[in-house]
Structure 1
Amino acid sequence: MHTFQNGWLGRLRIAGCIAAAALLAGCNLLPASGPYSAEVRNPQTQDTDGVGYKLVPMTASVVRVLSQLDGEGLIGTFRNDRRPIPDVKIGIGDLVGVSIFEASAGGLFIPAEAASRAGNFVDIPTQQVDSTGSISVPYAGQLRVAGLRPSQVEKEIIDRLRNRAIDPQAVVTVKEQRSNTVTVLGEVDAPIKFPLTANGERVLDAISRAGATQNKGYDMFVTLQRGGREATISFNRLIRDPVNNIYLQPSDTIYIYGRARTFLAFGASGKQGQFNFSDDAISLSEAVAKAEGLVDAQADPQSVFMFRLENRSTLERMGVDVSDIPTEGKVPTIYTVNYREPTGFLLTTKVPMRNKDIIYIGNAGSVEITKFLNLVLLGATTAREIADANSILYGPN
C-alpha cells in the first residue's frame, strides 16, 4: 500500500499538480458565464465554428450611422415617393360609366322626336375595364382607358364622335374602383380593402378604417409595402412623428401586428435574462440600466459588447470590410463599448436597441485571477485532507 513519505511535500505536490493542470488547460478550465473578453476581441483565432463575425468599436462615426438608420421610418424608406395626393387613374377591373350628350335631337343618340324621351343624353351601360385596359363605346369603338384620368377618356370619346354626333359631350365616371385600392391586414378589428379617393388618404386613415388592435402603442407595429419595398414603424412613433404619416398610393399594403420587443443581457451585469423594451425605443445605455448596470466587483467596464445581426450595407457605410464574410444578408456583428471612458456613456445614449439584441459584459482580469487562486486553494485543501486521512489510516509519516 502506497503511503506518503513526506506529508507536507505530498500535499504541495498534489496542489502543484492541480495548479499545473489549470495552467495547461488555460482559462477554459475556470467557470464563466460566457466568452472571455480576449476571445471576443480576436475573431480570427476564436471563431472555431466558422460563423464569421465583425468586431466594430463604438466610435462617434459608427454611432452616427446607427442613429440615422433608426430615424428613417416610413418617410426615410419612401423618401423619393412623396406624391402628396395620389393621382387616381382608371385601372383594369374598374367599373366605368359613360354618359353622352348631344346639343339637339336627331343625332346619333337623341331621337328626332325629342319629346319621346327625357333629357338630351344617353347612359352607356356600366362596364368593367377588361384585361387589355379597354372599354367599348358605341360609334367610338374600343378605347384604351387604363392609366388615364376620366377627363382624358372624355376628350377621346368627344374626338371620335365629333363628326358623327351633334356637338357631342361626354361624362366618364368611375362607378367602382377595383385597381386603385389599399389593403389593410394583420391584427385589426376588420381587415379591409378600400379605394383611394382624390382627397388622398394617409396611413393613419387606413388604420382607422380597419380598427387597430388593443396592443400597447410601443408594442404595435405598422409595415407599409409598396412597389417591392417595405418599411416598419411603431405605432407610437407614427403618432409622434406626423411626417411619417405619408399619403397612400394605389396597391399599397399595410400590415399591422403586435410584438413585445426584447433584448438579452449576460455576463457581469446586475441582472441577467430577457428584458422588454417597454417603450417605443430605448438606447443601449438604457438597456444596460434595465439589466441593473455593471457589477462593480466583477465587471470590466472596457469589455461591454453588443451582439447583433447587422445589415451588410450598414457596415459598409461605417467603413467595415465585409468582403470576407461569405454569407448573404445580415452579418454577425459585435459592437465593443468602453465604459471606462466617459465618452462611452455619451455615445451609447444615441445607439438605439433593436429587437433580440444581446448585451454581454465581460469579467475584469482580477476576477479571473481570483477564480484561479480559489482553484489552487481548493486543490491544496483537498491535498491536505487526503494527507490527514492517510495519517489517520496509516499513521504519521
Structure 2
Amino acid sequence: MASGLCLALAACVPARYAAVAPAEEEQAARELEAFNETLALMAARSDAPGDYRIGPEDLLEVTLFDIEDTSGEPRMIPARVSNSGYITLPYVGKIRAQGMTPLELEDALKQAFRRYIRDPQITVFVREYRSYRVSVVGYVNQPGVLELKGRKTLLEALAMAGGVSDDAGREVRVSREAGGQVQTILIDLDRLARDGDMSLNIALLPGDVINVPRAGTFFVEGEVNKPGAYPLIEKTTVTQALATAGGPDFKLAKIGGITLFRKKENGERVAIPVDLEAIRSGRADDFLVAEDDVILVPLSGAKYFVDRVMGRLGFGFTAPL
C-alpha cells in the first residue's frame, strides 16, 4: 500500500522535486556517524564493576585481612562460584554468592566471620568473569551473537555491533526470559544517547535479544520542495516533517489547505487539517507524525487537488469536520 501510495502521488507533483540533494545525504550520514560516536563514547563510560552481579562459574578472590598465610600476609582465597551459586570458605563453609554484588558479598562474609573474628576485614574481587551470550539483531551494522564477560550494558552491546544503521528506528526492544515468560523492555535511544538518561542503559543478562527495528515511514506530497517518503527515525512533528521535505513551495502551495491523512485500525484513512498559522502562533499543537501518515500540501486555488489524488489511490477517507 505504501509503495503504491507514493507512486500514485508522484504523478501529481513536478518531477524536479523527486531527487534529494547529495549534500543533504552527506549531512544525514554525518548525523548518523555522530549519533553512533555518541553511543560508543557513552558505552565506554558506562562500565560500573561495582554493580556487577556475581554468577555461576565466576572466579572470586576473597582476602581475609585478619587471617595470615605462612608468609605473614593477609590470606587470599580463590573461590569458584558453583553452578548452584555458592562458594566454600574455611571456617564458614558454604556461602551463597549468586546474585550479589562484590560489596554485598563482602557484607555477608563479614557477618558470617563474626562468629570467629570480632571485626573482620574482608574484600571480594572478581578475578575471572563467566562468559554468556546475547544477540543483537535488526538494523545494526554488524548483527550477530556477542560473547560477553562481566557486566555489560545495552550501549556497550550496540557499540560492539557497530552502531545502528541509517534506516534504524530509535526505539530498541530488549527481550529476556524472566520467570518462564519472555519480557520485552522498550528503550528510547534518543532519551538515552542524546538526553543522557543513563537509567535506560540497562545491564544485560545471559540470553538477552536486542532488536533494533527499522524506522517507520511517513510521506510528504504535493507542493513541497522535496516530496516523497521519509524514515520516521525519531519523534517528528508536523512542522518538522514539512521541513524535512524542504518546506512548502510558497509560490504554488495553498498553506491553509494542508491535510494529514492517517490510517485507522480498520484501514480507513481519516483526514486531519493542519493549520500552520495556528501552530506557529501557539494556538494549536504541533502534533506528532505517525507511521504511514501522508501530509498533502495542495496547489493554491486548487481545492480539488486532495480529492483528485485520494480518488486515484482508490481508498476511502473520512473528511475533517
TM-score by length of 1: 0.44
**Gap change, CA 1:137 and 1:220, over 3 Å in 2:** same
Asked if residue 231 in structure 1 is aligned to residue 184 in structure 2, the reply is no
Kindly indicate whether structure 1 or structure 2 has the higher relative contact order, using CA contacts under 8 Å at least 6 residues apart.
1
Asked if residue 358 in structure 1 is aligned to residue 282 in structure 2, the reply is no
Alignment match of 2:90 (pick from 138, 156, 169):
138
Residues in 2 aligned to 1:344 and 1:104: alpha-carbon distance in whole angstroms: 74
Residues in 2 aligned to 1:265 and 1:255: alpha-carbon distance in whole angstroms: 32
Residues in 1 aligned to 2:93 and 2:273: alpha-carbon distance in whole angstroms: 72
Alignment match of 2:81 (pick from 128, 132, 136):
128
In the alignment, what sits opposite 2:136?
185
AA in 1 matched with 2:150: P
Q: Which structure is larger by alpha-carbon Rg, 1 or 2?
A: 1
In the alignment, what sits opposite 1:211?
162
In the alignment, what sits opposite 1:262?
217
Q: Is this contact kept in 2: 1:86–1:248, CA < 8 A?
A: no
AA in 1 matched with 2:295: I
**Gap change, CA 1:174 and 1:292, over 3 Å in 2:** closer
Residues in 2 aligned to 1:137 and 1:168: alpha-carbon distance in whole angstroms: 14
Q: CA deviation at 1:357?
A: 1.9
In the alignment, what sits opposite 2:56?
93
In the alignment, what sits opposite 2:31?
none
In the alignment, what sits opposite 1:307?
262
Asked if residue 248 in structure 1 is aligned to residue 205 in structure 2, the reply is no
**Gap change, CA 1:367 and 1:297, over 3 Å in 2:** farther
**Gap change, CA 1:194 and 1:232, over 3 Å in 2:** farther
AA in 1 matched with 2:79: T
Q: Is this contact kept in 2: 1:96–1:126, CA < 8 A?
A: yes
1:47-76, Cα deviation, whole Å (9 max, x unpaired): xxxxxxxxxxxxxxxxxxxxxxxxxxxxxx
Q: Is this contact kept in 1: 2:62–2:78, CA < 8 A?
A: no
Aligned positions of 1:325-340 closer than 5 A: 334=270, 336-339=272-275
AA in 2 matched with 1:343: A
In the alignment, what sits opposite 1:343?
278
AA in 1 matched with 2:54: G
**Gap change, CA 1:238 and 1:146, over 3 Å in 2:** closer
Residues in 2 aligned to 1:118 and 1:257: alpha-carbon distance in whole angstroms: 55
Unpaired runs of 5+ residues, structure 1, are 1-32, 35-83, 111-116, 311-326, 372-397
Residues in 2 aligned to 1:129 and 1:230: alpha-carbon distance in whole angstroms: 33
Residues in 2 aligned to 1:91 and 1:358: alpha-carbon distance in whole angstroms: 51
**Gap change, CA 1:232 and 1:151, over 3 Å in 2:** closer
How many residues are paired up? 245
Q: CA deviation at 1:337?
A: 1.2
Going by fraction, where is strand more abundant, 1 or 2?
2
Unpaired runs of 5+ residues, structure 2, are 1-7, 10-46, 176-182, 309-321
Residues in 2 aligned to 1:279 and 1:155: alpha-carbon distance in whole angstroms: 47
Q: Is this contact kept in 2: 1:88–1:149, CA < 8 A?
A: yes
Aligned positions of 1:1-397 closer than 5 A: 88-93=51-56, 95-99=58-62, 101=64, 117-131=70-84, 133-162=85-114, 169-178=121-130, 185-186=136-137, 187-189=140-142, 192=146, 193-196=148-151, 204=155, 206-212=157-163, 215-216=165-166, 219=168, 221=170, 223=172, 225=174, 228-233=184-189, 241-244=194-197, 246=199, 248-251=201-204, 255=210, 257=212, 259=214, 261-265=216-220, 269-270=222-223, 274-277=228-231, 282-288=236-242, 290=245, 293=248, 301-302=256-257, 304-308=259-263, 334=270, 336-339=272-275, 342-343=277-278, 350-359=286-295, 367=304
**Gap change, CA 1:342 and 1:103, over 3 Å in 2:** closer
SS in 2 for 1:343: helix
Q: Is this contact kept in 1: 2:237–2:286, CA < 8 A?
A: yes
Q: CA deviation at 1:336?
A: 1.5
SS in 2 for 1:342: helix
**Gap change, CA 1:124 and 1:294, over 3 Å in 2:** same
SS in 1 for 2:196: helix
Q: Cα RMSD between the aligned structures?
A: 5.2
In the alignment, what sits opposite 1:314?
none
Q: Is this contact kept in 1: 2:238–2:287, CA < 8 A?
A: yes
**Gap change, CA 1:298 and 1:274, over 3 Å in 2:** closer
**Gap change, CA 1:296 and 1:151, over 3 Å in 2:** closer
Q: CA deviation at 1:140?
A: 0.9
Q: CA deviation at 1:307?
A: 0.2
Percent identity between the two aligned chains: 16
Which is worse superposed, 287-296 or 203-212?
287-296
Q: Is this contact kept in 1: 2:59–2:128, CA < 8 A?
A: yes
